[in-house]
Chain A
Amino acid sequence: MAAAPLREQLSALLSSMFSQGLVDEQFEQLQMLQDEGGTPGFVAEVVTLFCDDAERIIAEIATLLEQPIVSFDKVDAFVHQLKGSSASVGAQKVKFTCMQFRQFCQEKSRDGCLMALAVVRNEFYDLRNKFQTMLQLEQQIQAYDPKQQ
């Protein structure tokens, strides 16, 4: 059965994402909602919304930090937004890096914020890659067995 190795890959990927703390129980809740509802595509939808949102926010923050005078309140507001959506999707590591980021905003430290932004960006890209792999594997598995989600 051609789907079996793919399922193993997906299972291993998800396990490692959980064990590395990339995703937490909230992500598991979303998976359960998808399975219970029999609506494939829910997790994909939320993950995609999150990635689009995060990318937009990271770009906005980068622009704000380039200004001669940084508006730390605005940066903080964006970080708060990102923290919120990462919490909602279960992106645990990104959420934690946002919490640290907010400290630098409170301290009004441009250097601190730039560093925190770099960390958030890396964590986000790492997670996004894994989400993309996850979605690809799911699509491939679906192609072999359309009834399965």
Chain B
Amino acid sequence: MAAAAPSPAPAPAMSPKVAVSPKAVDRKVVPVVAAAADEVSNEVHVLAVDDSSVDRAVIAKILRSSKYRVTTVESATRALELLCLGLVPNVNMIITDYWMPGMTGYELLKRVKESSKLREIPVVIMSSENVPNRISRCLAEGAEDFLLKPVRPSDVSRLCSRIRW
């Protein structure tokens, strides 16, 4: 399996030759369909990043039950790859675990905020540990919010009601 972008009608910004090497493909990623250029999506699209399969399933379900479209990835590196290659169009929010092997959610947050293309996307950090320093660092770095795990539906609805899509 070579390319990760299955759509035959890529948005103009995408190079049709984009091919992600098989090693880089995160086989657990939900297949991404690039929206056609003239299709206006009113649906909120959330990119959820977590190395735990259990947590991905839970956060995806919570978000989907609020009618958000969700793409899940298991690493921050993969998330950045998808974002930078334009393989996840129109992401309205990124929600990421803090502690992950490889790149942490904090590092992902920084990269997103440093990128002129991505910096407007709200980033929410999730963590199972209530560490005040960690929380304030993330907020200082531009995180929209910090959620303690286990994440509840009420946490997410409170959060999403504040964000201006």
Contacts and interface: CB of A to CB of B under 8 A. Distances in A.
Interface of A: 26, 29-30, 32-33, 36-37, 39, 42, 45-46, 49-50, 52-53, 80-81, 83-85, 87-90
Nearest to B52: A85
B128 interface: yes
Contact of B150 (A42, A80, A87): A87
Interface stretch (B5-13, B60-68, B139-147): B60-68
B55 A84 contact: yes
Given A49-B57, A85-B54, 6 more contacts: A36-B65, A42-B61, A53-B53, A53-B54, A87-B150, A90-B150
Interface string B43-82: 0000000001111011001101100000000000000000
B86 interface: no
Given A33-B65, A37-B61, A42-B61, A89 B128 contact: no
Which DSSP category, helix, strand, loop or mixed, fits chain A's interface? helix
Given A26-B150, A37-B61, A83 B128 contact: yes
A100 B54 CA distance: 22
B89 interface: no
Nearest to A24: B150
Contacts of B128: 80, 83-84, 87
A4 to B, nearest CB: 30
Contacts of A39: 61
Contacts of A30: 58, 61
B102 to A, nearest CB: 13
Contacts of A52: 53
A46 B149 contact: no
